[in-house]
Structure 1
Amino acid sequence: MPNLAQTLKQEIARIARKEVREDVTALRKAASTYRSEIAALKRSVKDLQVQLRATQRAFSRGAPAQAQEGSSSRPGRRPTFNAERLKAKRQALGLSQAQMASLLGISALSQWKWESGQVTPRASKLARYFAVMAMGKREATKQLGTP
């Protein structure tokens, strides 16, 4: 008799493992699906956080105000720095690099680097750059204090 009981016990354990294996396989598939969905959601949240930080930075720097200033001349286009235009404007105004630098509120070395294209101005200096680019010769000489 012990042989029959032992065999019955082994068969019950085998059937139980088979049923459990099917359930575990289904659970593993579900867990894998959930993990991939969670990873996609994390990527989405990260992208949204990056966009939010960029928007907050632009808002704190006053980008909406700059966009309104630039939109009056050319809607849909942002004004950008150009070294060649800076040099051409300085020559059109008949100013030396030192005079143009004082007009922009920077050093003569910075002026030279801006014109040569080695360096681009910081965001804090761009507003003054655009104001100078919009000036005429009379206004520039008036601000410099030279007749």
Structure 2
Amino acid sequence: MTTFADSLKKEIARVARKELRDEIGALRKVSLQQRADIAALKKQLKALQSQLNHLAKARVEPAREAPRPASAESVVVPRGKPGRKVVFTAERLKTQRARLGLTQEQMARLLGVSSLSLWKWESGGAVPRASRVPRILELLALGKREALARVAPDAS
């Protein structure tokens, strides 16, 4: 009788495995499809987040921009003609000083400021006050001879 019982148990296990194999195969197919869908959704989410970040950087908020008079790099001062603006930039000041052949100390004397202030303006660490910008822009328009002539009387 033990052989009959063993044979019955083996047959039941075989039939159960056969039925489970079909069901597990169906579940595997569903699982693979769900994983593919999840991967596609993750890819789509990443693309949307990238697009959102790009749009957020490009967006200009008028409420935040209005109170700030100047950035660390430039100051815009209106000139005589309407619609025309002259921009102060640290790089422009530095290159003009080099073109004129002046030291920071000489340039600072011409502007009536300390050499430390001039250094901070040129390095972008600070921005000149709006009241100083017209004088700076005037000095940026000078030629080399005129600038050296203005420096020479101060040195004597």
TM over 0.5: yes
Structure 2 gaps of 5+ residues are: 1-7, 142-156
Q: Distance in 2 between matches of 1:62 and 1:110?
A: 19
- 1:143 aligns with none
- 1:131 aligns with 134
Report the TM-score, using the length of structure 2 for normalisation: 0.53
- The offset of 1:28, in angstroms, is 0.3
Q: Distance in 2 between matches of 1:99 and 1:68?
A: 20
Amino acid at match of 2:15: L
Residues 20-35 of structure 1: pairs in structure 2 closer than 5 A: 20-35=27-42
| Contact 2:76 2:87 survives alignment (8 Å) | yes
Aligned mate of 1:47, from 46, 54, 60: 54
Q: Distance in 2 between matches of 1:35 and 1:96?
A: 58
Instruction: Tell which structure's C-alpha radius of gyration is larger.
Output: 2
Structure 1 gaps of 5+ residues are: 137-147
| Cα deviation digits, residues 66-98 of structure 1 (max 9, x gap) | 668277336xx8553322435778x9xxx9743
- The offset of 1:37, in angstroms, is 1.2
Counterparts in 2 of 1:14 and 1:127: CA distance versus 1, 3 Å: same
- 1:72 aligns with 83
| Contact 1:83 1:114 survives alignment (8 Å) | no
- The offset of 1:38, in angstroms, is 1.3
| Cα deviation digits, residues 79-135 of structure 1 (max 9, x gap) | 53322435778x9xxx9743522xxxx424433x379x5x34623x16345311248
Higher strand share: 2
- 2:14 aligns with 7
Q: Secondary structure at the match of 1:122?
A: coil
- The offset of 1:12, in angstroms, is 0.5
Indicate the RMSD between aligned Cα atoms, in angstroms.
4.2
- Percent identity over paired residues: 12
- The offset of 1:20, in angstroms, is 0.6
Amino acid at match of 1:32: A
Report the TM-score, using the length of structure 1 for normalisation: 0.56
Counterparts in 2 of 1:20 and 1:29: CA distance versus 1, 3 Å: same
Count of residues paired in the alignment: 121
